Amino acid sequence: MKRICCIGAGYVGGPTMAVLAKHCPEYRIEVVDTNSERIAAWKTDDLPIYEPGLLDIVKQVRGRNLFFYEDVEGHIDEADIIFVSVNTPTKTFGHGAGRAADVQFCEQTARMIAKCSTKPKIIVEKSTVPVRTAEAMEAILQANDKGVTFEIISSPEFLAEGTAIRDLEEPNRVLIGGRPTESGRRAIQEVLDIFAHWVPKERILTVDLWSSELAKLTANAFLAQRVSSVNAISALCERTGANITEVASAVGMDDRIGRKFLRASVGFGGSCFQKDILNLAYLCEYHGLPEVAAYWQQVVELNEWQKKRFVRTMLKALFNTLAGKRVAMLGFAFKPGTSDTRCSPAITIAKLLIDEHAELSITDPKALENARKDLPDARSCTFTPDPYEATRGAHAIALVTGWPEYSELDFERVFQDMEKPAFIFDGCDLLDHEALVKIGFHVFRVGAPPIVPS
Ligand code: NAD
Ligand code: UGA
């Protein structure tokens, strides 16, 4: 039985290895992590992350050919292939703080592999890393004094949270980058053979190492750029009476542009878009390309502005004071379908509302536990899973995560229980705005002028 070890049991490591285990029963797959709480949770039915369809797969393969361990070093040497899925957050200290990627966990992993290995291995970078990280990993790995050889492969992950299982089962593409040497080509083939168990061959793209690393950063930058582009135009729509939904559908019908990722919002969130663009901009600057850096940096600046703009619209509509007013926040996750709140626009919006002395009642079907941790000092916040309780007595509703269940709410009932005039700020273009106005709401939309009862 071939053995795979995956270092890092997070949003990428866990689901990726579960799907791999399902399709490759002849591989024994061991997922290891220094976070013992996480590993313990992977062994129960209360998994450490919420992802539709994940538990079903984990139940099928756990104990068959998928195993979780907190002893990281003990599982390295037996492995033929090691996937590295550790976190690569934005650096918070020293040179490049707030922009560069913190690659210390990748380096620690490489050192640990070098220390524990007595046999050759293929090391697969799954984490999103600055371009040429593989070079540093290689240098550390090859510096072992046991003569053990390693082949490094870059195979970045493109899954999105909330649709991780679908994305892994039917990926648009699997990217495999490696060295153009004989052993490099053999390693590429070995990794390709794993994915070929369920991914059609024409969707598996083999490239060189640096292109693979850079393609991942570029893909995230392009996706985030579309959101910032549509959000920029949303501001112009609000000023001119155009409607962003209509503009976006007209633009998206051009198949050179495409319909996806053109939904105006309160801004993009999630653990990766911002960190990866900041990292890309930093890399450009590092390589002496300040104009390119500034171009990408602006995608993040616009995103910050969009969140602030949303709160300024609320403040202005609510007669320039939010002090003592109750604001119900519908949603806190960075997007529907996940409990993840990392870099959620809801965090910035909540903090700005708290700065205005608003009293927040926050609701979310999955992310309340994380929301509490994100706002630890917020004495003026209450948290409830019940949207009717959250909106009771509120002066305004801020819808910041487009959970489909919010469009099913009984807004007649919500309206009855709110202070008047009752305001709704739909940051996700989710609700039936005409129907809300008929009920009596003052409706503010991202990307279209407000509509109020006549
Ligand atoms: P995560 O924080 O959820 O998980 C990373 C895990 O690695 C943590 O549990 C941490 O304890 C563990 N870890 C760190 N150093 C370790 C070490 N030396 N030994 C053992 N375990 C160690 O992160 P994630 O969301 O899974 O992201 C991982 C990487 O994948 C990042 O580079 C990210 O940019 C990229 N990525 C994430 C997503 C996503 O949707 N979250 C999608 C595509 C790519
Ligand atoms: C994103 C990418 O889609 C994945 O391909 C990538 O692997 C991943 O980042 C990563 O590297 O971590 P994710 O952050 O999970 O995935 O979620 P997305 O669906 O991309 O949404 C990101 C943010 O953009 C969310 O806040 C979402 O609400 C927002 N968004 C998305 C919009 O505001 N408008 C849109 O039209 C689309």
**What pLDDT band is residue 50 in, cutting at 50, 70 and 90?**
confident
Residue carrying the six token digits 């609700």? 431
Q: Where in the chain is the domain with CATH 3.40.50.720?
A: 2-199, 242-454
From atom 42 of ligand 1, which residue's Cα is the shortest distance away? 159
| Average pLDDT estimate for 228-254 | 98
Q: Which of 5, 11, 168 to mutate to test the pocket of ligand 1 (most atoms within 8 A of CB)?
A: 11
Strand ranges inside 13-60, DSSP E: 27-32
Residue type, 139: A
Is the per-residue pLDDT at 378 higher than 90?
no
Which superfamily is assigned to 2-199 in CATH? Answer: NAD(P)-binding Rossmann-like Domain (3.40.50.720)
**What pLDDT band is residue 277 in, cutting at 50, 70 and 90?**
very high
Give the per-residue pLDDT at 379.
Answer: 82
**What pLDDT band is residue 38 in, cutting at 50, 70 and 90?**
very high
Residue of 379, 428, 371, 422 whose CA lies nearest to 399: 428
From atom 34 of ligand 2, which residue's Cα is the shortest distance away? 263
| Average pLDDT estimate for 247-270 | 98
SS3 273: helix
Is the per-residue pLDDT at 144 higher than 90?
no
Give the per-residue pLDDT at 159.
Answer: 98
Interval between CA 14 and ligand 1 midpoint (Å) = 10
Residue of 153, 199, 145, 159 whose CA lies nearest to 176: 153
Give the per-residue pLDDT at 118.
Answer: 96
Give the per-residue pLDDT at 202.
Answer: 97
Active-site annotation holder among 237, 272, 284, 381: 272
**What pLDDT band is residue 367 in, cutting at 50, 70 and 90?**
very high
Name all residues whose Cβ lies below 6 A of ligand 1. Answer: 7-13, 33-35, 38, 72, 85-88, 105, 108-109, 127-128, 157, 159, 161, 271-272
Name all residues whose Cβ lies below 6 A of ligand 2. Answer: 128, 157-161, 220, 223, 227, 261-263, 265, 268-273, 334-335
From atom 20 of ligand 1, which residue's Cα is the shortest distance away? 33
| Average pLDDT estimate for 42-49 | 95
**What pLDDT band is residue 321 in, cutting at 50, 70 and 90?**
very high
Is the per-residue pLDDT at 432 higher than 90?
yes
Mark whether 6 is an active-site residue.
Answer: no
Give the per-residue pLDDT at 67.
Answer: 98
Give the per-residue pLDDT at 235.
Answer: 98
| Average pLDDT estimate for 420-435 | 97
Interval between CA 261 and ligand 2 midpoint (Å) = 8
Is the per-residue pLDDT at 377 higher than 90?
no
What value, to the nearest 5°, has the Cα angle with vertex 202 and ends 79 and 337? 70
**What pLDDT band is residue 1 in, cutting at 50, 70 and 90?**
confident
Q: Output 145 or 175, whichever has higher pLDDT.
A: 175
Share of the chain above pLDDT 70, in %: 100
Give the per-residue pLDDT at 230.
Answer: 98
SS3 5: strand
| Average pLDDT estimate for 158-186 | 97
What is the tens place of the pLDDT at every residue in 62-103?
Answer: 999 999 999 999 999 999 999 999 999 999 999 999 999 999
Strand ranges inside 56-154, DSSP E: 66-69, 81-84, 121-125, 150-154
Instruction: Estimate to the nearest angstrom the gap between the alpha carbon of 340 and the chain centroid.
Output: 8
- In angstroms, the CA 320 to CA 11 distance is 41
SS3 73: helix
| Average pLDDT estimate for 249-273 | 97
* pLDDT, the chain, mean: 97
| Average pLDDT estimate for 43-56 | 94
**What pLDDT band is residue 389 in, cutting at 50, 70 and 90?**
very high
From atom 37 of ligand 2, which residue's Cα is the shortest distance away? 261
| Average pLDDT estimate for 198-214 | 97
| Average pLDDT estimate for 45-50 | 92
DSSP 188: H
**What pLDDT band is residue 145 in, cutting at 50, 70 and 90?**
confident
Quick one: fold of 242-454?
Rossmann fold (3.40.50)
Is the per-residue pLDDT at 362 higher than 90?
yes
Give the per-residue pLDDT at 438.
Answer: 98
Give the per-residue pLDDT at 86.
Answer: 98
